[in-house]
Chains A and B, each alone.
Chain A
């Protein structure tokens, strides 16, 4: 199933990038897709982590939400940059990721980094080290709104305070 999705995605990618639909180029495209799928399978990266097809349906809604978050924080970081006093209060903090899958945790870490004003600098187990430009940014992450949104996106139940030991 994952292999099939990968092959279809690669074929569509080839067609979109090529733009030429002569038999010669199409057969080369099929050959390339087959080799790529074969190599990916031999590297065993066609799995839940490398090809998270479970997340595809929920992705557009999540991306829209993430983009709005990015726009909001990019605006506030811009205001800080343009402020003559440069009111920054750099803060290092750490937050717990409640996601169950590797793809979910990667999404969370990347979303933190994508949002201007916060950068994930390290991951230890399920704890992220985060550098924030202002204290308020660290506070927002510690409140866990983004964590919950990604759990919802991933399909994990909303996290509670109880944790695995």
Chain B
């Protein structure tokens, strides 16, 4: 029984670590603050979730498992708030994003949302 639990938690923790390392690598490779945040969000969402789920399996049906669920909930509710604040601060400080395309001025009122952006799309 313990072996099964160990196996399951390994199957969660190892991929979790993979996403943590990948996210860290992305932090180093990305060109500017905004794209780095995308790499960081791999860590704080999938990486952290898999890791905590693996720990929950290790903890079994105890209060510790419940507290780990709270940790997860905290990450999921505060993570985007922090990301948003960081992005806003960077924009306010006039950090210019490296952009391939700027669609901020696209018209939102022309037809259904699905078609609004298509006409501005250049060929790849």
Q: How far is the CB of B90 from chain A (nearest CB, A)?
A: 8
- Residues on B with beta carbons closer than 8 Å to the beta carbon of A93: 103-104, 106, 117
Closest to A98 in B: B113
Q: Which residue of A lies closest to B27 (CB)?
A: A81
Determine whether A155 belongs to the interface, using a CB cutoff of 8 Å to chain B: no
Q: Which residues of B contact A28 (CB under 8 A)?
A: none
Q: What is the interface size of chain A, counting residues whose CB is below 8 A from a CB of the partner?
A: 51
- List chain B residues, Cβ under 8 A from A163: 109
CA of A33 to CA of B25, assembled, Å: 44
- How many residues of chain B have a CB within 8 Å of chain A? 52
- The answer to whether A8 has its CB under 8 Å from any CB of chain B is no
Give every chain A residue within 8 A of B99 (Cβ-Cβ). 90-92
- Across the interface, do A74 and B104 meet the contact criterion of CB distance under 8 Å? no
Apart from A86-B30, A143-B113, A143-B114, 15 more pairs, CB < 8 Å: A16-B66, A16-B67, A74-B41, A78-B26, A82-B25, A90-B101, A93-B117, A110-B80, A113-B79, A113-B84, A116-B46, A118-B38, A131-B97, A144-B113, A161-B112
On B, residues with C-beta under 8 Å from A are: 19, 22-23, 25-26, 29-32, 34-35, 37-39, 41-42, 45-47, 49, 63, 66-67, 70, 76-77, 79-81, 83-84, 87-88, 91, 97-104, 106, 108-109, 111-114, 116-117, 121
Ordered by A's residue number, 17 sampled pairs between the chains whose C-beta atoms are within 8 Å are: A16-B63, A74-B42, A74-B46, A77-B38, A78-B22, A78-B26, A81-B23, A90-B35, A92-B102, A109-B80, A113-B41, A117-B38, A119-B87, A121-B34, A122-B91, A131-B97, A143-B113
